[in-house]
Structure 1
Amino acid sequence: MESINRTAIELVDEALDFAGELDVVGYELDNGATVVDFGVDAAGGVEAGLLLAEIQTAGLANLQTRMGRLAGAPRQYVELSTDHPAVALLCSQKAGWELTTEGGFEGLGSGPARALVGRETEFERVGYYDSSEFATLAVESTALPDEEVAEQVAELAEVDTDGVFLPTFATGSTAGSVTTAARAAELAVFRLLEVGYEPTDVLHASGSAPLAPPTRDETEAMGRTNDALAYGGEVHLQVARDDDRFGEIVSTAGEEYGTPFVEVFEDADWDFYDVPESVFAPARVTVDVVDGPVYTVGETDEELLAESFGYR
Structure 2
Amino acid sequence: MLNQRTSELFMQLAADASSLQCVVSEIGGGSVLDAGIHTRGSLGAGINLARLCMAGKAEIMIAPCDAAVLGSNNAVFVCTDEPVKACLAAQYAGWPVQTDHYFAMGSGPMRAARGREATLLELDLVESTDTVVGVLESDQLPDAEVIAMIAEQCSVAANQVRLAVAPSSSLAGSVQVVARAIETAMHKLHELKFDVTKIVSATGHAPLPPPAKPGDMVTGIGRTNDAILYGATVSLWVDCDDDAVEAIAAKVPSHTSGDHGKPFAETFKQYNYDFYKVDPMLFSPAVVTIHNLQSGRSWNHGKIATAVLRQSFSS
For residue 148 of structure 1, what is the aligned residue in structure 2?
145
Contact 1:239/1:290 (CA < 8 Å) preserved in 2? yes
SS in 1 for 2:94: strand
Structure 2 counterpart of 1:302, which letter? T
The CA deviation at 1:26 is 0.2
SS in 2 for 1:95: coil
For residue 157 of structure 1, what is the aligned residue in structure 2?
154
SS in 2 for 1:137: strand
- 1:126 aligns with one of 120, 123, 131: 123
The whole-number CA distance in structure 1 between the counterparts of 2:234 and 2:61 is: 15
Residues 74 and 300 from structure 1, CA distance in 2 versus in 1: closer, same or farther, beyond 3 angstroms? closer
For residue 301 of structure 2, what is the aligned residue in structure 1?
297
The CA deviation at 1:126 is 2.0
Structure 2 counterpart of 1:225, which letter? T
For residue 280 of structure 1, what is the aligned residue in structure 2?
283
For residue 222 of structure 1, what is the aligned residue in structure 2?
221
The CA deviation at 1:212 is 1.4
- Unaligned runs of 5+ residues in structure 2 are none
- 2:5 aligns with one of 4, 7, 12: 7
The CA deviation at 1:41 is 1.2
Contact 1:71/1:303 (CA < 8 Å) preserved in 2? no
SS in 2 for 1:206: strand
- 2:48 aligns with one of 51, 58, 83: 51
Q: TM-score, normalised by structure 2?
A: 0.95
Residues 142 and 252 from structure 1, CA distance in 2 versus in 1: closer, same or farther, beyond 3 angstroms? same
The whole-number CA distance in structure 2 between the counterparts of 1:68 and 1:260 is: 21
Q: Does 1:262 align with 2:261?
A: no
The CA deviation at 1:74 is 5.5
Contact 1:237/1:288 (CA < 8 Å) preserved in 2? yes
The whole-number CA distance in structure 1 between the counterparts of 2:67 and 2:76 is: 13
For residue 193 of structure 2, what is the aligned residue in structure 1?
196
Residue range with higher mean Cα deviation, 213-222 or 178-187: 213-222
Structure 2 counterpart of 1:224, which letter? R
Residue range with higher mean Cα deviation, 111-120 or 254-263: 254-263
The CA deviation at 1:125 is 2.7
Contact 1:70/1:302 (CA < 8 Å) preserved in 2? no
For residue 239 of structure 2, what is the aligned residue in structure 1?
240
The whole-number CA distance in structure 2 between the counterparts of 1:53 and 1:74 is: 20
Contact 1:172/1:222 (CA < 8 Å) preserved in 2? yes
Residue range with higher mean Cα deviation, 79-88 or 241-250: 241-250
Contact 2:170/2:211 (CA < 8 Å) preserved in 1? yes
Q: Does 1:65 align with 2:89?
A: no
- Unaligned runs of 5+ residues in structure 1 are none
Q: Deviations over 1:103-148 (max 9, x none)?
A: x111110000000111112212322222211111111111001110
Q: Deviations over 1:126-183 (max 9, x none)?
A: 2222221111111111100111000000000000000001110101111111011100
The whole-number CA distance in structure 1 between the counterparts of 2:265 and 2:76 is: 22
Q: TM-score, normalised by structure 1?
A: 0.96
Structure 2 counterpart of 1:43, which letter? R
- 2:73 aligns with one of 61, 72, 75: 75
The CA deviation at 1:247 is 1.1
Contact 2:202/2:234 (CA < 8 Å) preserved in 1? yes
The CA deviation at 1:256 is 2.1
The whole-number CA distance in structure 2 between the counterparts of 1:269 and 1:98 is: 17
The CA deviation at 1:85 is 0.6
The whole-number CA distance in structure 2 between the counterparts of 1:24 and 1:58 is: 20
Aligned length: 307
Structure 2 counterpart of 1:188, which letter? A
Contact 2:72/2:207 (CA < 8 Å) preserved in 1? no
